[in-house]
Structure 1
Amino acid sequence: MRPPRDVRPPVARVLRAAASGGRTVHLVHPGALAASVYQGLADALPAGAGLTVLDLGSVPEYAEAALTGGRAATTVEDLSAVLLTAMGPHEGPYTLVGWSFGGVLALSMTGQLPADQLPERLVLLDSIAPTEEYQQPDEALEPDLLLRWFAMYLGAKRGRPVPVPAGRLAGLGVDEGLTVVLDAGIAAGALLPDTPLPGLRKLYDTYVDGLLRNNRLTAPHCPAPAPLPLTLVKAEGSLIPGDPTLGWQPLAPHGLTTRTAPGDHYTMLDRPDALSVLAPLLAPA
């Protein structure tokens, strides 16, 4: 009997090939949304530039942890090595980008590259730094914070924002808070009126397990400072709105440039007004 065929897409997914000698944008994607969310960004890049997504969702030991309690049998360093292998040798200039937890991996990847193979640019998209300030135990991720992030995610996944009034989730437990998100999702047209709360709870639990996986991978990780200048693009609706650098300053001895993009943590990836900020930044004409 044949073993089951692995039907996962490849880790490196070319959404747009660069012209000969043109710049390639290699973008580390940690999942949550489908990698196809970047097609609009690929199309918005200047002529001759290409975009390849390095999709962690195609790395079994990472992806399956979100379905089995959030504990991954791997490390940031090992995942970085997998991504570098998938990226392979490159010709011409390239930019390395990491969205969300992908920024932690992108920085780690530069630490495994020789100086003559470093990217020309390292860009972080609403990524939280793996510094002591944000290396928190699981219990520090309180329900009102997770529920607010989940409402953002749900809106992006359904293609309709799910606004939850500021402070509405404060002090609520998961079940009470999910009822608020459910009502907001129905009102916004992101969820059907008969959506059962247990079904939404299942989606929430998987979402949180993915966050816990990333938190647990980051906790023991000791990042080296970036070997080149960093650029941070923070979403207007960032995961952590109060920190303008999301903790990256100590890891940026060569300089940290910050920009802001329209949208929230998720919608910044495909909103046309956000793409007009991202495209020229990732691949200057």
Structure 2
Amino acid sequence: MRPPREARPPVARTFRAAAPGRHTVYVVHPGALSAQVYKGLATTLPTGTGLTVLDLGSVPEYAEAALTGGRAATTVEELTARLLVALEEANPAHGPYTLAGWSFGGVLALAMTHRMPPERRPGRLVLLDSIAPTEDYHQSDDALEAALLLGWFAMYLGAKRGRPVEPDPARLAGCEVDEGLPVVLDAAVAAGALLPDTPLPGLRKLYEAYVDGLLRNNRLTTPHRPGPSPLPLVLVRAERSLIPGDPTLGWQPLAPHGLTRFTSPGDHYTMLSRPDSLDVIAPLLSRSA
């Protein structure tokens, strides 16, 4: 049972306060994984650097869409306004900060910078395996093939359970959901991520909620037309990104002030918690410019 709206935590969740004179990292988190996944980042950042997560899971119109068919009663513009309010409340003194966004959070982080006066913009904007909201990556719901989604779901399941789930790509190729979910289940059981008696209907329910979350983000992004970034962009792409073939994840056209690229170990989901990945990400976030 999901909590009632009034029981949701605030959008801005501080994991570590900045020391006097030091800057804070604000990360836009779109859900899928719990915001608690950032505990490792909080301890990896240099001493004195603060970390606050702007958690979209605390926005009912957004979070509940992953449980009700993937159609959110909101827009990128409305979510951006909500995040800006949360940022202002968390940083009323307008201290120095870095703004980052993981996955769909990167789309919103860029949108936030467009609505800020220049003097309020972050020192740097960091995108964590975020796919650019450009026309080349606008997809219809039907274009998201089951075999692709099942592979992404296996990554997600492995991150949630703390055990890599790696189904044989050859067995997933061309599969529809009914054929592919048993393949994912077999791989999850073999990895110790799920118990051998895990019922397939239960796994399917989790898969459907996962896909609804993807559809929600896709439907929110498709009508959104962002302008070029007013800041240089820093992109950290996971070794096993959701889009493996494009090292820029489509951001180059939106980066007139430059796009600096880095690669982190792990996949789209484990990049937020693997120590070797955090060793790549933390130094980039801790720089003020």
The TM-score range, normalised by the shorter chain, is: over 0.9
Range moving further from structure 2, 87-96 or 172-181: 87-96
CA RMSD of aligned residues (A): 1.1
Structure 2: which 5+ residue stretches go unaligned?
Answer: none
Aligned to 1:124: 127
Contact 1:46 1:284 in 2 (8 A): no
Q: 1:279 aligns with which of 266, 279, 282?
A: 282
Helix, strand or coil for the counterpart of 2:170?
coil
Is structure 2 residue 59 aligned with structure 1 residue 56?
no
How many Å separate the matches in 1 of 2:238 and 2:153?
A: 16
Aligned to 2:186: 183
Q: 1:196 aligns with which of 187, 196, 199?
A: 199
Helix, strand or coil for the counterpart of 1:162?
coil
How many Å separate the matches in 2 of 1:202 and 1:5?
A: 23
Aligned to 1:138: 141
Range moving further from structure 2, 193-202 or 82-91: 82-91
1:133-168 deviation digits (Å, cap 9, x = unpaired): 111110011001100000000000011000122333
Contact 2:227 2:254 in 1 (8 A): yes
Correspondence list, 1:207-218, <5 A: 207-218=210-221
1:77-124 deviation digits (Å, cap 9, x = unpaired): 110110010111343310000000000000000011001111010000
The aligned amino acid for 1:54 is L
Correspondence list, 1:59-138, <5 A: 59-88=59-88, 89-138=92-141
How many Å separate the matches in 2 of 1:209 and 1:280?
A: 34
Helix, strand or coil for the counterpart of 1:74?
coil
The aligned amino acid for 2:115 is Q
Aligned to 2:259: 256
Helix, strand or coil for the counterpart of 1:18?
coil
How many Å separate the matches in 1 of 2:51 and 2:181?
A: 37
Give the alignment's TM-score, normalised by structure 1: 0.97
How many Å separate the matches in 1 of 2:188 and 2:117?
A: 48
How many Å separate the matches in 2 of 1:200 and 1:97?
A: 32
CA deviation after TM superposition for structure 1 residue 28, in Å: 0.2
The aligned amino acid for 1:114 is P
Contact 2:5 2:60 in 1 (8 A): no
How many Å separate the matches in 1 of 2:59 and 2:212?
A: 16
Q: Could you list the runs of 4 or more consecutive aligned residues of structure 1 that deviate by over 4 angstroms after TM superposition?
A: none
Structure 1: which 5+ residue stretches go unaligned?
Answer: none
Contact 1:234 1:259 in 2 (8 A): yes
Aligned to 2:232: 229
Is structure 2 residue 156 aligned with structure 1 residue 153?
yes
Helix, strand or coil for the counterpart of 1:258?
strand
Aligned to 1:241: 244
- How many aligned residue pairs are there? 282
CA deviation after TM superposition for structure 1 residue 213, in Å: 0.2
The aligned amino acid for 2:95 is G
